[in-house]
Structure 1
Amino acid sequence: MPLIALDADGVLLDYHAAYRDAWFRAFGVNPSLRNPLAYWPVDRWDVEILAGADLGKFRAQFDEKFWSSIPPCVGAVDACLQLRRAGFDLVCVTALEERFLGSRKENLLQCGFPIAAVYGTDGTAGDVSPKAAILEALRPMAFVDDFLPYFRGVPTGIHRALVVREPHGSPNVGPDLSLIQSQHPDLAHFSKWVLRDGLGAGA
């Protein structure tokens, strides 16, 4: 069956919401929304820049429980179900430490995503994406991510679809946009585009 590879945070899962919840667990304060158009959660929520013991306390929240309980992005589960019914196999290619991959798999399963497998990479975005090697091995028809540097070095023949998300502070600008073959506000729009026009459109 044709294969589509999907990023997790920002494409399948709402990392913004999970960040806010982690802040509440660490400090007992539910931060208010500061900038709904901010790409990074530290800019989106009304939070301070942390250091020292407070930073350590916050980082401690990013444990197995955190990575197994992130809510889905709006419309993402339905988008995946529609793609699956249309005959696509779906896998997740995520920049996450190996020790948390089990939690990520559990999270996606609990949310109802029809994801066949989860592959993890490191998060360093250099001249070549850390996801490029896995994509080379999998050879999906399409790769969907919300972080432009992760498209560097992705093999030709794989449709490269960027979820553009919130624009303020976004890394999704500059010369690397030449790598992208289609842009979408979210996974739901990508799914509708695929089912309407097919992956050949814009390739």
Structure 2
Amino acid sequence: MSIKPIIALDADGVLLDYGLAYASVWDRAFGQRPVERDKDAYFPFHRWAVEFLDGDRLAALRTCMDEQFWSCVPPLERAVDACHRLHDAGYELVCVSALAQQFEAARLKNLRDAGFPIERVIATGVAAGARSPKADAIEQLGPVVFVDDFQPYFRGIAPSVHRALICRGPNGSPNVGPELSQIHSLHANLWEFSEWVRVHGSLLPSRAV
């Protein structure tokens, strides 16, 4: 177990701009980059002027979401700076991503190439059910903070772990409803979260649990 307190960070929507990458993979799959429809949309298929996919076209898009794709998703604005700020403050940063395990190494390469001070990725996959697919990994990791941009992924996370929600993309966001009362802090982006830690970090446990 780390001697430093750990902050567990989601990737897509917290560290990396999956929404922007979605336009690129669409272009790769179908030979045409979509027009942006709503920059404030939460889901990429609402952000871009694209049609609903099924059958062969959906399979074609998923085929392009390969190791190459997952190794080159661009970082979100100021996310790298925010991570260096947290790292320099004495935290170990671990990425916990609901990604297929076969792409774990590609995700780590992506983060390293982008300049994130992150040396470990835990790919949990996406599991059906009421409990977050990340809950077991968070329990084993024992972070002082878990940062995600998808409210349902906090289900099953121990109350002792500070739950920080990144509230991006307000249009069509799933981050609404009574479960918000279980979130400890809300932030517009990771840089804002790093500022919260700078001011309020003394309220967090000093060691991983």
TM-score (ref. length: structure 2): 0.93
The equivalent position to 1:138 in structure 2, one of 130, 133, 141, is: 141
Q: What CA deviation, in whole Å up to 9, does each residue of 1:149-175 have, x standing for no partner?
A: 000110121100000101111110112
Corresponding pairs, count? 201
**Are 1:18 and 2:26 counterparts?**
no
Q: Which residue of structure 2 lines up, in the alignment, with residue 41 of structure 1?
A: 44
Q: Which amino acid aligns with 2:23?
A: R
Q: Which residue of structure 1 lines up, in the alignment, with residue 33 of structure 2?
A: 30
Contact residue 152 and residue 179 of structure 1 kept, 8 A: no
**Are 1:167 and 2:170 counterparts?**
yes
CA 1:176 to 1:10, structure 2 compared with 1: closer, same or farther past 3 Å? same
The equivalent position to 1:118 in structure 2, one of 121, 135, 139, is: 121
Task: Give how far 1:187 is off.
Answer: 0.4
Q: Which residue of structure 1 lines up, in the alignment, with residue 151 of structure 2?
A: 148
Q: What CA deviation, in whole Å up to 9, does each residue of 1:35-62 have, x standing for no partner?
A: 1111000000011112322222111110
Q: Which residue of structure 1 lines up, in the alignment, with residue 191 of structure 2?
A: 188
**Are 1:64 and 2:67 counterparts?**
yes
Q: Which amino acid aligns with 1:96?
A: L
Segments of structure 1 that go 5 or more residues without pairing to the other structure are none
Contact residue 108 and residue 119 of structure 2 kept, 8 A: no
| Same amino acid, percent of matched pairs | 53
Task: Give how far 1:33 is off.
Answer: 0.8
Q: CA RMSD in A?
A: 1.2
The 1-side partners of 2:162 and 2:99 are apart by 23
**Are 1:100 and 2:100 counterparts?**
no
Segments of structure 2 that go 5 or more residues without pairing to the other structure are 205-209
> SS at the partner of 1:21?
helix
Contact residue 97 and residue 122 of structure 2 kept, 8 A: yes
**Are 1:9 and 2:12 counterparts?**
yes
Contact residue 125 and residue 150 of structure 1 kept, 8 A: no
Task: Give how far 1:178 is off.
Answer: 1.8
> SS at the partner of 1:48?
coil
> SS at the partner of 2:49?
coil
Q: Which residue of structure 1 lines up, in the alignment, with residue 77 of structure 2?
A: 74
CA 1:137 to 1:2, structure 2 compared with 1: closer, same or farther past 3 Å? same
TM-score (ref. length: structure 1): 0.95
The 2-side partners of 1:24 and 1:70 are apart by 14
